[in-house]
Amino acid sequence: MSHTPLLEVEHVTMRFGGLFAVNDLSFTARPRQITAIIGPNGAGKTTLFNCITGFYKPQVGRITLHQERGPVYLERLDDFDIAKKARVGRTFQNIRLFARMSVLENLIVAQHNTLMRASAFSLAGLLGLSRYSKAEKLGVDKARYWLDKVGLLHLADEDAGSLPYGSQRRLEIARAMCTDPLLLCLDEPAAGLNPRESLELNTLLTGIRDEHGIGLLLIEHDMSVVMGISDWVVVLDYGKKIAEGTPGEIRADEAVIRAYLGEPDEAEA
């Protein structure tokens, strides 16, 4: 196992006025592992994701993505560069697909950066140059590969907005994977899924980790998903880390049981 972390969060603080949504938070996420961030509503999980993916700039702290060619400091990049240069992909708590585009088109649009590079950012590039056609074909192949992985290939030509909720969630994951991320951040991927879809999600996410060597960072309230597939769990409360460990350790942690796992109704409220 590599000892270099994939993601390193160091002393990150994000304040809204006087409220510390994330408060001096440090943890690491390893490559080829699923790291879950849990905690009750308002604990700071989404704010943390927004700091990692560049939607917010933390007032204090450093967020480093360790790539083969060296570290990339995410808090210094704009959000589009975090996706493009740092190769951090994400899905959202509320699904954000292009509802009127087809399922396949949603995955082609996700590869906009690669296709624009192949076009040399010019009309001439777009008009039949072989480099562009080749990139376009690779883009379609990649889209079809991920549609197959998430079980939606047979629906490639349907409008994304017409898919059932669980399928839209899987399509969002496929779309993020089409950007070739090193780290994939998933914000409540199991929200609204039925138990069968939840199990399918577990298989999909462990497959992404094991077959594609990608690190996953997961915010999730569904403990069957968290405890079933995570390699490491970080627990937040009021923006602070109160525990971290393996699912077994977290399950047995007194403070966590008291604050979270013992009070599922409160976490759901």
In whole angstroms, the minimum distance from the beta carbon of 126 to ligand ATP comes to 39
Strand order across the 7-16 sheet: 19-29, 7-16, 60-67, 70-73
Q: Is 58 in the site for ligand ATP (CB under 6 A)?
A: no
In whole angstroms, the minimum distance from the beta carbon of 217 to ligand ATP comes to 13
In whole angstroms, the minimum distance from the beta carbon of 44 to ligand ATP comes to 4
Q: Is 191 in the site for ligand ATP (CB under 6 A)?
A: no
In whole angstroms, the minimum distance from the beta carbon of 152 to ligand ATP comes to 27
Q: Is 215 in the site for ligand ATP (CB under 6 A)?
A: no
User: Would you say 37 and 217 are in contact if contact means Cβ atoms under 8 Å apart?
Assistant: yes
Nearer to ligand ATP by C-beta: 33 or 47? 47
Nearer to ligand ATP by C-beta: 126 or 191? 191
Q: Could you tell me which stretch among 2-10, 15-23, 132-140, 151-159 binds ligand ATP (CB under 6 A)?
A: 15-23
The amino acid at 161: G
Nearer to ligand ATP by C-beta: 135 or 234? 234
Closest CA to 90 of 37, 151, 128, 133: 37
Nearer to ligand ATP by C-beta: 42 or 228? 42
Site string for ligand ATP, 35-54 (x = CB under 6 A): ----x-xxxxxxx-------
In whole angstroms, the minimum distance from the beta carbon of 19 to ligand ATP comes to 6
Q: Is 16 in the site for ligand ATP (CB under 6 A)?
A: yes
- Residue from 6, 12, 21, 235 in contact with ligand ATP (CB under 6 A): 21
Can you give the chain as a three-state secondary structure string? CCCCCCEEEEEEEEEECCEEEEEEEEEEECCCCEEEEECCCCCCHHHHHHHHCCCCCCCEEEEEEEECCEEEEHHHCCHHHHHHCCCEEECCCCCCCCCCCEHHHHHHHCCHHHHHHHCCCCHHHHCCCHHHHHHHHHHHHHHHHHHHHCCCHHHCCCEHHHCCHHHHHHHHHHHHHCCCCCEEEEECCCCCCCHHHHHHHHHHHHHHHHHHCCEEEEECCCHHHHHHHCCEEEEEECCEEEEEECHHHHHHCHHHHHHHHCCHHHHHC
* Size of the residue set binding ligand ATP (CB under 6 A): 11
Nearer to ligand ATP by C-beta: 192 or 248? 192
Q: Which of residues 99-158 bind ligand ATP (CB under 6 A)?
A: none
In whole angstroms, the minimum distance from the beta carbon of 192 to ligand ATP comes to 14
Which residues make up the interface to ligand ATP (CB under 6 A)? 16, 19, 21, 39, 41-47
